[in-house]
Structure formats: C-alpha cells, structure tokens
C-alpha cells in the first residue's frame, strides 16, 4: 500500500486538528452503510464501482478493517489487448490503494472534515476508529453545502430503479 497505517493517520489528525468544542462529530452525520469492496478486489472491480458518477472513492476492507481507498486517479490506465480485454484488469486493486489523507477519526468535527475535503480537493473521507475499523464515510455534496446522508443515497438509488423500470 502507498500510505501509512490508519492508526498513524488518526494520531496525526488528532494532533493537527482541535476536535474539542460544540461541533458536530462526523459520527453523527457520516454515511453508515457505504459501498465497500473486499480487499481482494481486482482493478476491474474497482473501475466498475467508479463508473457510477456518485462514487468518488472505493473503500477496500478486510473484514471490518479499512485497508485501502482508491479514487479514479489512483488506478493505472488499462492496457487493451487486441481482443479488447484489459491486461491490467485482473490484477489486485489493493497495491494501488492508499489510506494517506483519506481517513478521519470518528471524533473529528464535521466542520474540520469539510475543511480537510476542500484542502485536499476530495469529496470523500473514510471514518475509522482507533484501530482502523471502518465506521462510515463522509461524503461532501456536489454543492459543497453539506454532507450526503444515508437517506439521500437510498432515495437516489430508488430513483434509479424507478427510472430503469419506466424505461423497460
């Protein structure tokens, strides 16, 4: 993997960001059921997940532990063979993943996460506990006026199902 352990990131964010005060913790506003791929996922599986324009980050886990994250720019360009099959697609995605600057501890304030996302040019940060257990995902809305909720995601998924049914 490209990045440090999630524990070291938790310590770094705790040291760099003051988490005290009346601010809302991310654990109160995070997505509690983000899409997750197994740590054994292939590059093609990661690419397939990222074809959804609402998916900005693939979370890779081993059991409940977050072991890597991927965004589109982390993935190598697929090398196409003459039969149009990807040479790189069957390889594991995990070696291309990182945790660096993509996780926050659950006690972090939503305001701090908003600042981190904007500073890093991201819209997603995984929420972990002290030992790297994946707790959820902070998801900045396109409008950057707030965070996505589980209800937003469920509603969008239901709308897509209804659209497909209407098209059939």
Residue-wise pLDDT for 99-109, tens only, equals 999 999 998 99
Residue-wise pLDDT for 40-90, tens only, equals 999 999 999 999 888 889 999 999 999 999 999 999 987 655 555 555 567
Cα angle 100, 104, 105; round to 5: 130
Residue-wise pLDDT for 1-53, tens only, equals 444 444 444 444 433 333 333 478 888 889 999 999 999 999 999 999 999 88
Domains of the chain and CATH, by start: 6-167 (3.10.580.10)
For β-strands 65-70 and 124-128, DSSP reports them as unpaired
Joined tokens for residue 58: 């693939």
pLDDT at res. 77: 82
C-alpha to C-alpha distances, 142 to 102, 110, 139, 149, nearest whole angstrom: 18, 16, 9, 13
pLDDT at res. 10: 43
Q: Closest by alpha carbon to 106, among 129, 123, 134, 124?
A: 129
Q: What is the pTM of this model?
A: 0.75
pLDDT at res. 62: 97
d(CA 108, CA 112): 7
């Amino acid at each position: 993997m490209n990045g440090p352990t999630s524990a070291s990131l938790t310590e770094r964010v705790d040291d760099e960001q003051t988490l005290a005060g009346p601010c809302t913790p991310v654990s109160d506003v995070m997505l509690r059921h983000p899409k997750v791929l197994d740590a054994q996922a292939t590059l093609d599986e990661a690419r397939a997940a990222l074809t959804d324009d609402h998916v900005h980050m693939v979370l890779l886990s081993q059991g409940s532990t977050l072991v890597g994250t991927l965004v589109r720019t982390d993935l190598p360009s697929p090398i196409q063979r003459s039969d149009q099959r990807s040479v790189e697609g069957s390889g594991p995605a995990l070696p291309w993943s990182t945790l660096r600057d993509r996780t926050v501890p659950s006690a972090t304030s939503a305001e701090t996460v908003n600042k981190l996302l904007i500073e890093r040019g991201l819209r997603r940060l995984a929420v972990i506990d002290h030992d790297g257990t994946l707790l959820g995902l902070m998801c900045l809305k396109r409008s950057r006026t707030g965070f996505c909720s589980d209800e937003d995601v469920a509603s969008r998924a239901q709308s897509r199902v209804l659209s497909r049914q209407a098209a059939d």
